[in-house]
Amino acid sequence: MKIKLLLFGLLALTFSGCKKLLEEDLQLIRSADQIYVDPVFAQGFVLQAYRTIPPYYNNSDLATDDAVVNLSANAALTAFRQVATGSWTPTNATMSVWNGSYSAILYVNQFLANSNKSRFANDPAANKLLNFRMRGEAFGLRALHMYFLLRHHAGVTPDGQLMGVPIVTDYQDPASTNFNQPRATFDACVKQIYSDLDSAEYYLPTEYVDLTAASQIPAQYASITQNFAAYNQAMGKTFRQLFNGLIAKSVRSRVALLAASPAFQHASNPATWEQAANAAALVITYKGGPNSLVRPTGQLPGHTFYDNRAEIDALSQGDNPHEMIWREVRQNTNSDREAQNFPPSLFGNGVINPTENLVESFPMANGYPIGHGSSAYVASNPYANRDPRLRAYILYNAHPDHTTIRTGSQSGTADGINVRTTSTRTGYYLRKTLRWDVSLTPGSVTGRNRYNPRIRFTEICLNYAEAANEAWGPKGSGPNTFSAYDVIKAIRTRAGVGTSNNHAYLEECATDKTKMRELIKNERRLELSFEGFRFWDIRRWKESLTKLNETARGLDVNGNVYTPINVEERAFQNHMIYGPIPYSEVLKYSNLQQNANW
């Protein structure tokens, strides 16, 4: 395991509210003793762990049946083509989070070992409150990075054991630490994550809000101060995009779902679907239940969060839309994703190309899959009367909002299939995650405001639906007040799917756990498309040999002629359900056992 020496050339960090919170500042060389007297330097250890959180838009969809990368020379994204077509090896670091997450863990371990000796404020109460908050953040961030390490690198070893990753909870002194540590069991890693999340919830408020009276101070802080103004300085709304108790509950939902999934079912792993459902239910209940997904008239729907222009532009003081449990800070006048993904005629590079495979997974507006006898799907008019999310998420030929975009190979435009390296390979371009009021016209580029999510409410709802269906069936709710059926009905109602016939297809699925399972998986595929989930979902479902090996297909549309095309063959093997431990680490550390067949 590559455990870097903790250098004390830590970045000096400053912030003003959320705007400066995670921005780099001047790099200064400091000694270890500075952590005890310089609050900015001490806080820097925690902020380093924020910087290395894996990106939400991780582009792993390009290695699934949902998308391909076009023929441009974008090295970072063409690496996913290599993964998908048979070149995923322990030396290919495309999917690895090993170095980044362990580096973050070492930083927070250093902070946790010393924060009780550090001075963050001269006032004793303020000092304790600040220490509480940052310790809670540190525990939460350590749990989050451990989750990513498990998702990427846990697996079954050649002797049949389900193993996680090495657990590192102490500051590692380079002079005395033995870095050649074995992997802990998967179950031990999950328990460690839960322990850290318990600590995070102990130290942190559920959300950061400004109080107006001493009576509002949460119980765990009441013995520290009765001054609500002092509380606000340490735990108020200024800190809204930092780790909090609700985020800890949401991370617990992610971990519990992973642990209960088929790929990790093993005699040594006691995780259950009930645990996963109940973990998600805590978050959903706090947010107002599944029906709160359907926003009141006048409020923008959560599934188009990326292009809810008025909502994005109005964000201030770290506010979150209802859909966001956690997000990054807002970027102003940005056009990066549009430059990467707009079609050539709009001066973009058209990099991410959705597949016909994904397009076919969108049902009709009446809620029936296109292959169902009651769907009324017409192959000669394939985009008519479809799920409204298709129009919102994917740019297809003569799209109603972009009628001049012609994707056919005979269209005579730069947007046609394989016309140039920046053209589509599938006949589709990406719409989701982009703001369509951005202009890339040379000489008058106009960027817009945007933010990147970290955790969406919809994700947690889908976690619950999957786990609750497995635990109690489509309409069972266990100790909760809502079922998998209730969640999926709310999601489809929000999207405008099945509302014309009282959700006839959902009612059909509600009598059959297997049918409901497939519907839930498909809703997860659609709702979380291009957000970096499907690659990991398919593998935890143990469906790699079918879904990940499915040929990526396109549709060549020229006039009224629709020609299916095969775009890219895929080459995944069964052992790739689990990712590899990086080869460099296995070479260096003899106690670090590789996953089977890597």
531-584: per-residue pLDDT in tens?
999 999 999 999 988 999 999 999 999 999 999 999 999 999 999 999 999 999
567, 127 contact by CB (below 8 A) = no
CB contact burial 514-530 (16+ within 10 A = b; e otherwise): eebbebbbebbbbbbbb
Q: Is 194 a residue whose pLDDT tops 80?
A: yes
Q: Is the pLDDT confidence value at 2 over 70?
A: no
Task: Output 20 or 430, whichever has higher pLDDT.
Answer: 430
What's the pLDDT at 38? 75
Q: Read off the pLDDT of residues 255-304 as tens digits, 9 standing for 90 and up.
A: 999 999 999 999 999 999 999 999 999 999 999 999 999 999 889 999 99
Task: Identify which of 24-33, 72-81, 171-180, 408-417 has the greatest average pLDDT.
Answer: 408-417
Q: Is 320 exposed, middle or buried (0-12, 13-18, 19+ CB in 10 A)?
A: middle
Domain count, the chain: 1
State the amino acid at position 541 in one-letter form.
W
Q: How would residue 34 be classed by pLDDT, with cut points 50, 70 and 90?
A: low
What is the tens place of the pLDDT at every residue in 324-381?
999 999 999 999 999 999 999 999 999 999 999 999 999 999 999 999 999 999 999 9
Look at residue 293 in the predicted model and tell me its pLDDT: 98
pLDDT > 70: what percent of the chain?
Answer: 94
pLDDT beyond 70 at 120: yes
Cα 56 to chain centroid, rounded: 4
The C-alpha atoms of residue 171 and residue 49 are separated, in whole angstroms, by: 15
CA 464/CA 280 separation, integer angstroms = 5
Contact 558, 411 (CB under 8 A): yes
Instruction: Give the whole-angstrom CA distance, residue 131 versus residue 129.
Output: 5
Residues spanned by the domain of 160: 1-54+97-230
Which residues are CB-neighbours of 236 under 8 A, at least 6 positions away? 208, 209, 210, 211
Instruction: Report whether pLDDT(7) > 50.
Output: no
Q: Cα separation of 388 and 372, whole Å? A: 18
pLDDT, average across residues 107-111: 95
pLDDT per residue over 45-61, tens digit each? 999 999 999 999 999 99
DSSP lists the bridge partners of residue 429 as 395
Q: Could you give the CA distance from residue 186 to residue 154 in angstroms, rounded to a whole number? A: 7
Report the SS3 class of residue 568: strand
DSSP secondary structure letters along 301-326: PGGGGGG-HHHHHH--TT---TTEEE
Query: If we measure between CA atoms, which residue out of 431, 400, 427 comes closest to residue 303?
Result: 431
Question: 297 in a domain, yes or no?
Answer: no
pLDDT above 70: residue 37: no
Query: Residue 136, class by beta-carbon neighbours within 10 Å (0-12 exposed, 13-18 middle, 19+ buried)?
Result: buried
Cβ 486 vs Cβ 473: under 8 Å: no
Q: Are 149 and 579 in contact (CB under 8 A)?
A: no
- CA–CA dist 167, 145 (Å, integer): 11
The number of residues making up the chain comes to 598
Q: Is the pLDDT of residue 18 over 80?
A: no
pTM for the model: 0.94
List pLDDT tens digits, range 376-417. 999 999 999 999 999 999 999 999 999 999 999 999 999 999
User: What pLDDT band is residue 39 in, cutting at 50, 70 and 90?
Assistant: confident
User: Taking 70 as the threshold, does the pLDDT of residue 31 lie above it?
Assistant: no
**209 in a structural domain:** yes
**Gap between the Cα atoms of 144 and 51, Å rounded:** 13
Q: Are 133 and 81 in contact (CB under 8 A)?
A: no
CATH code of the domain covering residue 216: 1.25.40
The share of the chain scoring above pLDDT 90, in percent, equals 87
Separation of alpha carbons 121 and 46, rounded Å: 17
Are 146 and 248 within 8 A, CB to CB? no
* Whether residue 156 has pLDDT greater than 90: yes
Report the pLDDT averaged over residues 238-248.
Answer: 96
Give the per-residue pLDDT at 267: 98
pLDDT band of residue 175 (cuts 50, 70, 90) is confident
The stretch 1-24 carries a mean pLDDT of: 36
Q: For residues 195 and 579, what is the distance between their CA atoms, to the nearest angstrom?
A: 25
Tokens 């303020």 sit on residue: 126
Q: Classify residue 26: in a domain, yes or no.
A: yes
Positive/negative CA dihedral, 469, 475, 478, 482: positive
* pLDDT given for residue 1 in this prediction: 46
Q: 39-51 and 124-153 are packed helices; what angle lies between their axes, rounded to 10 degrees?
A: 20
Mean pLDDT (the chain, rounded): 93
Q: Is residue 38 part of a domain?
A: yes
- Backbone φ/ψ region at 593: left (φ over 0), alpha (ψ -120 to 50), beta: beta
The DSSP 8-state label assigned to residue 185 in this structure reads: B
Sign of CA dihedral 320, 321, 323, 328: negative
Residue 93, both tokens: 């670091």
Query: Residue 389, Cα to own-chain centre: how many angstroms?
Result: 19
| 473 against 35, higher pLDDT | 473
Question: What is the number of other CB atoms lying within 10 angstroms of the CB of residue 213?
Answer: 7
Q: Would 451 be classed as within a structural domain?
A: no
Q: Is residue 205 part of a domain?
A: yes
Kindly give the residue spans of alpha helices, DSSP state H, lying in 236-387: 245-260, 273-287, 309-314, 336-341, 356-361
- 379: CB partners within 8 A, 6+ apart: 562
DSSP structure string for 44-77: HHHHHHHHTSPPSS--GGGGSTTEEE-SS--HHH
User: Is the pLDDT confidence value at 15 over 70?
Assistant: no
**pLDDT grade for 3, boundaries at 50, 70 and 90:** very low
Q: What is the mean pLDDT of residues 17-22?
A: 36
The mean pLDDT of 103-132, rounded to a whole number, is 93
Among 429, 153, 422, 398, which Cα is nearest to 264's?
Answer: 153
The alpha carbon dihedral of 3, 6, 10, 14 has a sign of: positive
| 425 contacts 71 by C-beta, under 8 angstroms | yes
Residue 509 lies in a domain: no
Q: Output DSSP code: residue 479.
A: T
* 162 occurs within a structural domain: yes
